[in-house]
Amino acid sequence: MSQGAPDTPAWWYGDARPPLPARVLAPLYAAAVDLRRWMYRSGWLRSREVDAPVVVVGNLAAGGAGKTPLAIALVERLKRAGWRPGVASRGYGRGDRRPRWVLPDTPPQEGGDEPVLIARRTAVPVRVDRDRVAAARALAGAGCDIVVCDDGLQHYRLARDLEIEVVDGVRRYGNGRMIPAGPLREPVERGRCCDFRVVNLGHGTGEGTGFGEWPMRLLSSQALPLAGGRPLPLSSFAGRRVHAVAGIGHPQRFFDALRAHGVAVVPHAFPDHHAYRPEDLDFGNDLPVLMTEKDAVKCAAFADARCYTVPVEAELPAAFWVALLARLGPAPKHP
């Protein structure tokens, strides 16, 4: 069974040897990554400061690791601690490349699926811009006293006060090779520079955590009808066949989560950030269709009574939040 999205090379997370062109290109990519990091460390390239603390949530391996659920949980925790957070994102996959504010009703093709999801779940300012420095400065100028950068661990032009590496608890770093021979954007050793390493154990699966790692679990208990109506407990789908739709970096995580609730899953994995069309959900029968929140923001406009989204909540140890807030210090006082 595939461990990745349909657009993920099979050798990244399997035992197959990467093809020769990928093995030849990987050292060149690694050398370019090392050169770029050296240029920032030596001062040839300069990171840009923002008038607010910046927290970057990212990963070393390409593909989904659970950054967005963690970013949402982080924003909510910061709000409870007295901060006024805003979220900066590149808005990957959107057709409109212009910088913009993302609101809960922003079309996903204009704001990006993940930024729209974050805006709906958190109700904080969300800014998308290919220039993350400009996005962070816009948030600070709009009254945010802390900026959460969803992805961007490799975007060294944006100075940051705290880095959180997110690791998929099942796939980890795949075959351990650099792109394109493997999934790594940077060497594994880069993670040692991060302030926190969070391991996404999903809904209870995974290899557990090691020394210095914080476990994160994704909790889901209900399905929300996209066409409107009352939510249903996931237990109401136990023993029933459903179409499960996931256009995320690791679709198998969603399918396994539904199976853990006793749901008989007919899996449909789409590429990450897939632009859905109504025919994508035409499976030739009237079985329920359950999908991730990230997919639901793109399907809501044409979803029918068969379609449900399954929200997730990221759960981390209380000690993680204590340690993180201690590193940030007290929130600024507001009148």
Question: Can you say which residues are annotated as belonging to the binding site for ATP?
Answer: 61-68
Give the whole-angstrom CA distance, residue 108 versus residue 110.
5
Q: Which residue has the tokens 């969300």?
A: 126
Q: For tokens 């006060």, name the residue.
A: 161
Provide the pairing of β-strand 146-150 with 54-58: parallel
User: Binding site: what residues are annotated?
Assistant: 61-68
Q: How far apart are CA 258 and CA 243, in angstroms?
A: 11
Report, in angstroms and rounded to the nearest whole number, the Rg of the chain calculated over CA atoms.
20
- Cβ atoms of 204 and 260 within 8 Å: the answer is yes
16: left (phi over 0), alpha (psi -120 to 50) or beta: beta
User: What is the number of residues in the chain?
Assistant: 335
Report whether the peptide linkage leading into residue 180 is cis, meaning its omega lies within 30 degrees of zero.
Answer: yes
Of 254, 235, 253, 233, residue with least CA distance to 243: 254
Q: Give the residue carrying structure tokens 């939510």.
A: 231
